[in-house]
Amino acid sequence: MSSPATPPQNPPSTDVPPTIEWQRKPAGIDANLRDYDSVASTFDWKTVEREFDWSWTQKVNVVHEAVDRHAVSWRKNKIALYYTDDDRRDEKYTFQDLKILTSRFAHVLKRLGVKTGDRVGVFLPRTPELYIAILGINRVGAIPVPLFEAFMEQAIEDRLGNSEAVVCVTTPALKDRIPRAKLPALHRLILVGAAGESADHEVSYEQAMAQAPDWVEPAWLTIDDGLIIHYTSGSTGKSKGALHRQYAMVGHYQTSKWALDLREDDTLWCTADPGWVTGTSYGIYGPWTLGISSVVIGGRFDPDRWYQTIQRYQVTMWYSAPTAYRMLMSAGDALPRQYDLSSLRHICSVGEPLNPEALRWVRQITGIAPHETWWMTETGMQLICNYRSLDFPIGCTGKPFPGTSATVVDDQGKELPPGQLGNLVVKPGWPSMMKEIWNNPAKYQEYFRIPGWYVSGDTAYKDEHGYLWYQGRADDVIKTAGERVGPFEVESALVAHPAVAEAGVIGKPDEVRGQIIKAFIALRKGHQPSEQLKQEIATFVKNHLAAHAAPREIAFVDKVPKTRSGKIMRRVLRAWDLGEPVGDISTMEE
Ligand code: WTA
């Protein structure tokens, strides 16, 4: 294969590291998936379909499986959602409560003319209404389009515009970032927490919910109908909408059972925001199709509050990201000792590689090693994991989930022997695989450029025991604090600033955040480089795109290196950043 453009975050390995340290598991551990090898060799997804009512009724809707069927069972009064924020709210919702609230919200949507297949934007802070809205949208058979709370006007315009959302649920504080004039399909805003309805196109959530009935039958769909669209970033172009189908619930359910190891009496804390795929696959669909209690906290990251959350809710399963574990680690060892974290029985990690040092630290303070789960927005569900019952070498990404087949191939699709770096690919056909890239069939096809495989864009190698080891991206996609950012979106925002002539953006390795965004900028004539201008440009991106997409470092250059066809040579930028030789620049423009 061609050499990966991104320098691997762990040094590329041509062999299994000799000093490997194993995370051993006690024999006979009481895990949902007890014997990986024998299950992986015989498992058939058809057996999971039987866990869903639609397998015999043929009537499909995720809200029935995640909420309604529990509300008519002994789980009726079981807590589905515990919620608290910094100060004002402290709430609990049973499955019965969710049935009523998502029914009411479905009624509100129906009154506004929302139909099966319509897209509805959800632009809300992490509050119970965000969860109610997503499942209420599913109830009418429409397709939720979650929009991360930090997004600013350009990001919102791109996503609501591309999805042609007809309605968006938001708050008075966030609504000014929705450029309605540029979004002809969007005809109504539902405002959560508004004093009243101040304009014709606005509907008060509270008023409309108060007038709605407690029961609305779900729209009955097929397994191929839409479940959700998550926008995500690639190395080129604007963000793209990964459309998932209802059948994805089969994957959410089984991975929640075997990788998260969820059981009836568990309390799950998935710390991801539903603006990103982890927050819906494992903050909504997975745990609730299983009928599990889930904790959500609003507000900002704060180490004290995080430990307090585990203690207060007696969290048993904790699903978070390496940056969060590293931020807790940098807050010191004394803090966690002030809390009782003994309720924890399983921990998983996602979004970026978890470095062994952070793994060992979490293990030291909780007694439990975090287990890797590798997957992507496009894959919808976890595909490579470490399992509670299975020994694993520390630092590895894991083994393919039973019934799926991730592996490493060369550019022609030939499987590579152990120790050889190549493309991390998956055999298409797992349950939660995206159905399409919204409005962009050509982009969808790009994922299948190696015949017979879904191409992740990551590089990896397999070791002689069958464990996969993630080694970095093969393209220019940036992962900063676990959030996926496309360099093109940031570059587009940068060149909209009046002082910026050209901009090239890369991910720069960072100890805590995995990567930070670094921009190389050539200024327009008449503008002088200065610290103040750097600040101004970063704030500009923050205000137009999103805080997490703003460059943390800016370097002024005379010219941004480009190929003759005008493509930014990020490889050269990365070499500049590291002070390394730039290599072959024969394709650079004069
Ligand atoms: C990276 C997040 C190493 C990877 C669910 C992938 C990981 C991208 C891991 C998808 C992991 C995710 N170890 N890298 N356990 N999990 N990644 O779409 O590069 O936000 O391609 O999905 O994150 O990011 P996305």
What tens digit of pLDDT does each residue of 25-42 get? 999 899 999 999 999 999
Which atom of ligand 1 approaches the CA of 470 most closely? 3
Tokens of 36: 């990986």
Q: What is the mean pLDDT of residues 10-18?
A: 49
Asked which of 170, 194, 220 is the last residue of a domain, the reply is 220
Query: Mutate which of 378, 479, 513 to test ligand 1's pocket (most atoms within 8 Å of Cβ)?
Result: 479
Q: What is the CATH number of the domain that holds 203?
A: 3.40.50.980
Distances (CA, A) of 246 to 130, 287, 431: 19, 16, 9
Distance 472 CA to ligand 1 centre (A): 10
Residue nearest to atom 13 of ligand 1 (CA): 353
Which residue, 499, 502, 491, is CA-closest to 533? 499
Distance 458 CA to ligand 1 centre (A): 9
Tens-place pLDDT, residues 224-281: 999 999 999 988 889 999 999 999 999 999 999 999 999 999 999 999 999 999 999 9
Distance 352 CA to ligand 1 centre (A): 5
Question: Comparing 4 with 499, which gets the higher pLDDT?
Answer: 499
Share of the chain above pLDDT 70, in %: 96
Strand-strand pairing, 454-462 and 468-473: antiparallel
Order of strands, sheet of 406-409, starting from the edge strand that comes earlier in the sequence: 406-409, 422-426, 454-462, 468-473
CB-count burial class (<10 Å; 0-12, 13-18, 19+) for 3: exposed
Distance 91 CA to ligand 1 centre (A): 32
Tens-place pLDDT, residues 141-175: 999 999 999 999 999 999 999 999 999 999 999 99
How many domains in the chain?
Answer: 2
10 pLDDT above the threshold of 90: no
Q: Which residues pair with 76 in a beta bridge?
A: none
pLDDT of res. 589: 65
In a domain, residue 211? The reply is yes
In a domain, residue 123? The reply is yes
Q: How many CB atoms lie within 10 A of CB 543?
A: 15
Distance 390 CA to ligand 1 centre (A): 22
Q: What is the mean pLDDT of residues 546-573?
A: 95
pLDDT of res. 198: 72
Cα separation, 284 vs 287, whole angstroms: 6
397 pLDDT above the threshold of 50: yes
Q: What is the mean pLDDT of the chain?
A: 95
587 pLDDT above the threshold of 80: no
pLDDT of res. 186: 98
Query: Mutate which of 260, 277, 285, 484 to test ligand 1's pocket (most atoms within 8 Å of Cβ)?
Result: 484
Q: Where are the alpha helices (DSSP H) in 20-152?
A: 36-42, 46-49, 54-57, 62-63, 69-71, 95-111, 128-139
Which residue, 267, 327, 268, is CA-closest to 302? 327
pLDDT of res. 171: 97
8 pLDDT above the threshold of 50: no
Distance 483 CA to ligand 1 centre (A): 9
Residue nearest to atom 14 of ligand 1 (CA): 352
pLDDT of res. 319: 98
Residue nearest to atom 7 of ligand 1 (CA): 352
- Please answer whether residues 146 and 275 qualify as being in contact, where contact means their C-beta atoms are separated by less than 8 angstroms: yes
pLDDT band with cut points at 50, 70 and 90 for residue 138: very high
Rg (CA), the chain: 24
- Residue 247, helix vs strand vs coil: coil
Tens-place pLDDT, residues 71-115: 999 999 999 999 999 789 999 999 999 999 999 999 999 999 999
pLDDT band with cut points at 50, 70 and 90 for residue 580: confident
Cα separation, 8 vs 4, whole angstroms: 8
Distance 376 CA to ligand 1 centre (A): 5
Asked which of 220, 251, 280 is the last residue of a domain, the reply is 220
Tens-place pLDDT, residues 313-352: 999 999 999 999 999 999 999 999 999 999 999 999 999 9
In a domain, residue 300? The reply is no
Residue nearest to atom 5 of ligand 1 (CA): 376
Distance 351 CA to ligand 1 centre (A): 4
pLDDT band with cut points at 50, 70 and 90 for residue 6: very low
Q: What amino acid occupies position 338?
A: Q
Question: Comparing 4 with 419, which gets the higher pLDDT?
Answer: 419
Cα separation, 441 vs 464, whole angstroms: 38
Query: Mutate which of 244, 350, 397, 475 to test ligand 1's pocket (most atoms within 8 Å of Cβ)?
Result: 350
pLDDT band with cut points at 50, 70 and 90 for residue 585: low
Which residue, 345, 87, 71, is CA-closest to 79? 71
Residue nearest to atom 24 of ligand 1 (CA): 376
12 pLDDT above the threshold of 60: no
Where are the extended beta strands (E) located within 427-499?
436-437, 454-462, 468-473, 478-480, 483-485
In a domain, residue 176? The reply is yes
In a domain, residue 210? The reply is yes
In a domain, residue 433? The reply is no
pLDDT of res. 19: 73
Residue 506 CB partners (closer than 8 Å, separation 6+) = 476, 478, 487, 517, 518, 520, 570, 573, 574, 577
Order of strands, sheet of 436-437, starting from the edge strand that comes earlier in the sequence: 226-232, 240-245, 436-437
Q: What is the CATH number of the domain that holds 494?
A: 3.30.300.30
pLDDT of res. 472: 94
pLDDT of res. 3: 40
Q: What is the mean pLDDT of residues 392-396?
A: 97
293 pLDDT above the threshold of 70: yes
Distance 561 CA to ligand 1 centre (A): 28
Residue range of the domain that includes 162 = 92-220
pLDDT of res. 210: 97
Question: Comparing 402 with 7, which gets the higher pLDDT?
Answer: 402
For helices 356-366 and 322-330, angle between their N-to-C axes, nearest 10 degrees: 70
Asked which of 220, 239, 257 is the last residue of a domain, the reply is 220
Q: Where are the alpha helices (DSSP H) in 174-244?
A: 205-210
User: What does 210-254 look like in DSSP terms, one character per residue?
Assistant: HTS-S--PPPPB-TTSEEEEEEE--SSSS-EEEEEETTHHHHHHH
Distances (CA, A) of 311 to 127, 308, 339, 378: 21, 5, 6, 34
In a domain, residue 128? The reply is yes
Tens-place pLDDT, residues 178-209: 999 999 999 999 999 998 767 889 999 999 99
In a domain, residue 116? The reply is yes
pTM here is: 0.95
Residue nearest to atom 20 of ligand 1 (CA): 484
Q: Which residues line ligand 1 (CB under 6 A)?
A: 232, 276-278, 350-353, 372-377, 397, 456-458, 470, 473, 479, 484
